[in-house]
Amino acid sequence: MAIVERLALGEVCHGMAVLFYDPQEFLLAGDDDFFTDYREVFDSCDAELAAAFHMLEEAARQLDLTRLRVDYAALFVGPAELRACPYGSVHLEKGHQLYGETTSGVAKLYAQAGLQMGADSTTVPDHIAVELEFLHFLLHRSASADAPPAHIYPTFLQHFFLPFAQSLADLLISRAETDFYRQLGRMVQRLTVVLAGSVDSLPARAGD
């Protein structure tokens, strides 16, 4: 995978992470900045992802922000049982509990890559947005001389991110009440395919 392709895929992961924030953080009435900023990135990365991104943009234009926030809360925040829990351990472990062994496994990979979550941080390491930001970090650093150890990227994808993201995508598609979040589920579904195809083509360091 060429450096420019890695960087584009990393930016796609960053954009996908943003889409898991509260929509009021990136969608404001009459404000197209998010879509303007990321449209070219998705277009340059993968045709199917780009098509899905354009459909998500159209869904955003047709929906009231309040309705989007209600769906966002029902899917990811609560207070009722979450329709699409955004934490990896809930999808990967039998007990479906937060802070399981897979949560600590993800945190260990972050540390091996040179990242540390603050002791007072309220962010859960295996939240989907955090994991997408980690992929953004790994893909961008892979183009540098001080890239993280080679095993981190395939280990993280194969054992943590891909099975979690595939499960979450299915729930979004089947349980979201808005076209926006159903389309996000389809985007995650396609992203897993693109990322899986990148495992064997990503060198540990630029020029390897």
pLDDT in tens, 178-207: 999 999 999 999 999 999 999 876 654 443
Q: pTM higher than 0.85, yes or no?
A: yes
Q: What gap in Å lies between CA 80 and CA 43, rounded to an integer?
A: 37
* Residue 207 domain-assigned (yes or no): no
Q: Is residue 185 part of a domain?
A: yes
pLDDT at position 77, please? 95
**Are 139 and 131 a contacting pair, CB within 8 Å?**
no
Model pLDDT for residues 82-106, shown as the tens digit of each residue: 999 999 999 999 888 888 899 999 9
CA 50 to chain centroid, in Å, comes to: 15
Q: DSSP state, 31?
A: B
Domain extent, residue 54, equals 3-201
How far is residue 135's CA from residue 131's CA, in Å, rounded to a whole number?
6
Cα separation, 162 vs 191, in Å, equals 9
Tens-digit pLDDT profile for residues 117-151 = 765 567 899 999 999 999 999 999 987 878 899 89
Q: Please count the structural domains in the chain.
A: 1
**CA separation for the pair 163, 186 (Å, rounded):** 15
Instruction: Provide the CATH number for the domain around residue 105.
Output: 1.10.3480.10
The answer to whether residue 190 is domain-embedded is yes
What per-residue confidence (pLDDT) applies to 96?
Answer: 81
DSSP 38-92: HHHHHHHH-HHHHHHHHHHHHHHHHS-HHHHHHHHIIIII-SS--SS--BHHHHH
Considering the domain boundaries, does residue 125 fall inside one? yes
Task: Tally the C-alpha atoms within 13 A of residue 8's C-alpha that lie toward its C-beta.
Answer: 18
Q: Is 208 among the domain residues? A: no
